[in-house]
Chain A
Amino acid sequence: MATTPEELASHKKAYTAIGIALLVLTCVTVAFGFWHPFGPVMTWRDITLGLLIAIVKSSMVALIFMHLNHERGLIYKILLFTFCFFLGLMLLIFFAHADPIREAFDAIRNSLG
């Protein structure tokens, strides 16, 4: 953890820079939301782009503001562990949704007319 005056001064510069970058990126997100760069209709590409910018922004907050760029190993382990389960929660539910027994459902739907 930074305690010397020099380090704190350099930290302040980094914080200002990151703050400005975050504000700019917010404007970029809104601009992209208006002018879908990939065509007239909003598609998965625009959504991916929007989320990518959000990920970049949140990484900046996490790394610089939350000091994750120089944190102790233990914290990384806890977060890695959490991230695995976060992914499991998001992805497995999504996969389960994306893989229903279609034939059976279709058969029922057809039989109902």
Chain B
Amino acid sequence: MSAASSTHQGADASGHAHDEHDHHDPPFWKKYIFSTDHKVIGLQYGFTALVFMAFGFFLMMVMRWSIAYPDRAVPFLADLPWFQSWLDADGKVTGELYNMFGAMHGTIMIFLGIVPLAFGAFGNYVTPLQIGAPDMAFPRLNMASFWSYFIGGVLMFTSFFLPSGSAKVGWTNYSPLATTTDLQFSDIFWTGQTQWLLAMVFLISSSLLGAVNFITTIINLRAKGMTWMRMPFFVWAMLVTGFLLLLAFPPLEVAAIMQLMDRMAGTSFFVPTGLHVGGMPFDAAGGGSPLLYQHLFWFLGHPEVYVLILPAFAIVAEILPCNTRRPLWGYKTMVYAAMVLGFLSFIVWAHHMYLTGMGTSVSTFFQTTTVLISVPSVILITSLLISLWGGSIRFNSAMLFATAFIPMFGIGGLTGLPLAFNNIVLHLHDTYYVIGHFHYVVAPGTIFALFAGIYHWFPKQTGRMMSERLGQLHFWPSLIFMNGIFMPMFFQGMAGFHRRAFDGGTAYEKVANQLFVSGDSFFGQMFNFVFHRAGGQDVNMIDLNLIMSSSAWLLALAQIPFVINLFISVTRGKKVTSDNPWNATTLEWATPTPPPHGNFLTEPVAYRGPYEYSVPGAEEDFTPQFVPGEGDTVPVPGEDAPAKTETHA
């Protein structure tokens, strides 16, 4: 109420150029920039996040060049002014540049790309629609959340252009390396390392505000009849994700503040006694604990993994039933599994830290919980798989991406199991195996689901369909090249390739010679032909870098159809004929297209569960939540929560 009224008053007060005082058409900056409408904010999140993802992807392509061709100059970039100060005299990537890009690739992809796109964009756009709410519970908080994220993103991005360059000690920013890096600069505040911490404080605050808003909205703003067990799985996943963000992020905020103090105020939270930097005793009191930083970081870090993956499950769980024309299999089981997943994700974090000198009892505890957490994950993925069974599947672009998510996440999840055991971690820690594992979860896993979501909800936002042909052109190469990048990482990792070698492991001659594929074999011949190598050369571990890097660059090309599709379809796409083009059942399809400010024309009512497809005896193969049927009792306002005990675990 106050938000709406103040918006209108503001429009009146600032109506210098608007003589007509149009109450329903606020000025451009209010409508599209400082908007309080959850849909506009969702789109703002989405576009910013997509830009950052493209940027993070670009960083990775430069890194992959250095890995594949450590002895050659980087093409195209070497003459750009910024790169000239960071590449070496031959135009090759320096270790420093690689470290910078490595740290920022991780940070940008996770904190500025996927979480904002999955939680900020899809969550913001879809959640209020699916529960039948006019907006988020706190619209202005929502706006603050986006702008806090935006400031954090700008700080991250501009840190590249500081004299020190950006942060460069890995996305985890472990102390004391992070504390002592770039101390030579006269103004420590304007170094990439400090700016990283500052940006993180903004990003975390943004996530916290967002989480408060989401949970309140889901709890209090559900429409009539939208009981807990009638909420689409998407909303459930957002609820759990909200709790993960709410409770896991503050310890990282604390860690960031402490590290900021270490750098700026000279404290020694994470500076141990007797630390020497560059041969000189480091001027600090000492007595701090680097391990404390790791604990606080991974207390966030592990729930963060589920923040990345739960929205992906959520999107896929919306798209699968819609395109198989079948109810979601095991809806309740999935809901409870998501809750258990959220709960367990808080007590597994130390499996990232097995090699820090942890004793047997504690590592046994963390091994046990880590293995346990695979159970709900498998329940979720199995339910999705079984949902396909016996459906009449409509393979549109969204469905292709959603279906591909299942095996891709499966590979990522299953390769994570060995990493739960500390004796195996002795061998695999910090190798490419770990990289392969979590990228399978996040890249072909979550990002595919996000693409699926864009294809699926695009008609609701714009009133036009995205091109199917371009969608297919986007999907198939993406699928192939994603696997081309990440599958060889498992082999390399098991051979012992360290993840942070900027020359792609050329220094590791012994491991490099493993995996001989004879140059005379079919694979060897093909390989030598494709990469223009002298015939008969054997293929070994290092040569896999060529496959991976080429796949990465081709993957970039494969995104071109998507970008074209996204922009062209806004104006040229096929117009939708109804508000519910996919014949889906959930409430967001009951709104006009695109949904106006305030979303619903009439107060929405949920008459049944979210996935009533192919109900026996029904006229059509879908029975939407919002259409009253015979025998449906209209719930009395307010008394719509018989399942009150099932709030959350």
Chain A positions near chain B (C-beta within 8 angstroms): 73-74, 77, 81-82, 84-85, 88-89, 92-93, 95-97, 99-102, 104-105
Of the listed stretches B52-60, B325-333, B356-364, name the one at the interface; the rest are far from the partner chain: B356-364
Q: How far is the CA of A88 from the CA of B300 in the complex (A)?
A: 13
Chain B positions near chain A (C-beta within 8 angstroms): 219, 243, 247-248, 251, 291-292, 295, 299, 343, 346-347, 350, 353, 357-362, 365, 644, 647-649
With contact pairs A74-B219, A101-B357, A102-B359 given, residues A96 and B243 touching in the complex (Cβ less than 8 Å): no
- For B358, give its contact among A82, A89, A96 (CB under 8 Å): A96
A85 and B247: CB pair below 8 A?
yes
A96 and B350: CB pair below 8 A?
yes
> Chain B contacts of A85 at CB under 8 A?
247-248, 346
With contact pairs A74-B219, A92-B350, A104-B357 given, residues A82 and B647 touching in the complex (Cβ less than 8 Å): no
Q: How far is the CA of A105 from the CA of B358 in the complex (A)?
A: 11
With contact pairs A92-B350, A100-B358 given, residues A81 and B291 touching in the complex (Cβ less than 8 Å): no
Q: How far is the CA of A85 from the CA of B345 in the complex (A)?
A: 10
With contact pairs A77-B647, A92-B350 given, residues A101 and B219 touching in the complex (Cβ less than 8 Å): no
New contact pairs (13) apart from A74-B647, A93-B299, A100-B359, CB-CB < 8 Å? A73-B644, A73-B647, A74-B219, A77-B648, A81-B247, A81-B649, A88-B347, A92-B347, A95-B362, A96-B353, A101-B360, A102-B359, A104-B357
B-side interface mostly: helix
> Chain A contacts of B649 at CB under 8 A?
81
Q: How far is the CA of A85 from the CA of B648 in the complex (A)?
A: 15
Instruction: Say how far A50's CB is from chain B's closest CB, in angstroms.
Output: 23
> Chain A contacts of B219 at CB under 8 A?
74
Q: Which residue in chain A gives the minimum CB-CB distance to B346? A: A85
Query: How many inter-chain residue pairs (CB < 8 Å) link A and B?
Result: 51
B359 and A101: CB pair below 8 A?
yes
> Chain A contacts of B360 at CB under 8 A?
99, 101
> Chain B contacts of A96 at CB under 8 A?
295, 350, 353, 358, 362
Instruction: Say how far A78's CB is from chain B's closest CB, in angstroms.
Output: 8
Q: Which residue in chain A gives the minimum CB-CB distance to B349? A: A92
B648 and A100: CB pair below 8 A?
no
Instruction: Say how far A89's CB is from chain B's closest CB, in angstroms.
Output: 6
Q: How far is the CA of A102 from the CA of B247 in the complex (A)?
A: 32
A99 and B362: CB pair below 8 A?
yes
Instruction: Say how far B519's CB is from chain A's closest CB, in angstroms.
Output: 45
Instruction: Say how far B471's CB is from chain A's closest CB, in angstroms.
Output: 41
Closest A-B pairs by Cβ, 4 of them: A99-B359, A99-B362, A93-B295, A96-B362
Instruction: Say how far A15's CB is from chain B's closest CB, in angstroms.
Output: 28
Q: How far is the CA of A96 from the CA of B243 in the complex (A)?
A: 25
A82 and B247: CB pair below 8 A?
yes
Most B C-beta atoms less than 10 A away, residue of A93, A95, A96, A97: A96
Q: How far is the CA of A93 from the CA of B648 in the complex (A)?
A: 26
* Sample of 28 A–B contacts (CB below 8 Å): A73-B644, A74-B219, A77-B647, A77-B648, A82-B247, A84-B343, A85-B247, A88-B346, A88-B347, A89-B299, A92-B347, A92-B350, A92-B362, A92-B365, A93-B292, A95-B362, A96-B295, A96-B350, A97-B291, A99-B358, A99-B359, A99-B361, A99-B362, A100-B358, A100-B359, A101-B357, A101-B359, A105-B357
Q: How far is the CA of A99 from the CA of B358 in the complex (A)?
A: 6
Instruction: Say how far B547's CB is from chain A's closest CB, in angstroms.
Output: 40
With contact pairs A92-B347, A96-B362 given, residues A81 and B357 touching in the complex (Cβ less than 8 Å): no
> Chain A contacts of B644 at CB under 8 A?
73
Most A C-beta atoms less than 10 A away, residue of B248, B251, B362, B365: B362
Q: How far is the CA of A101 from the CA of B51 in the complex (A)?
A: 46
Q: How far is the CA of A95 from the CA of B291 in the complex (A)?
A: 13
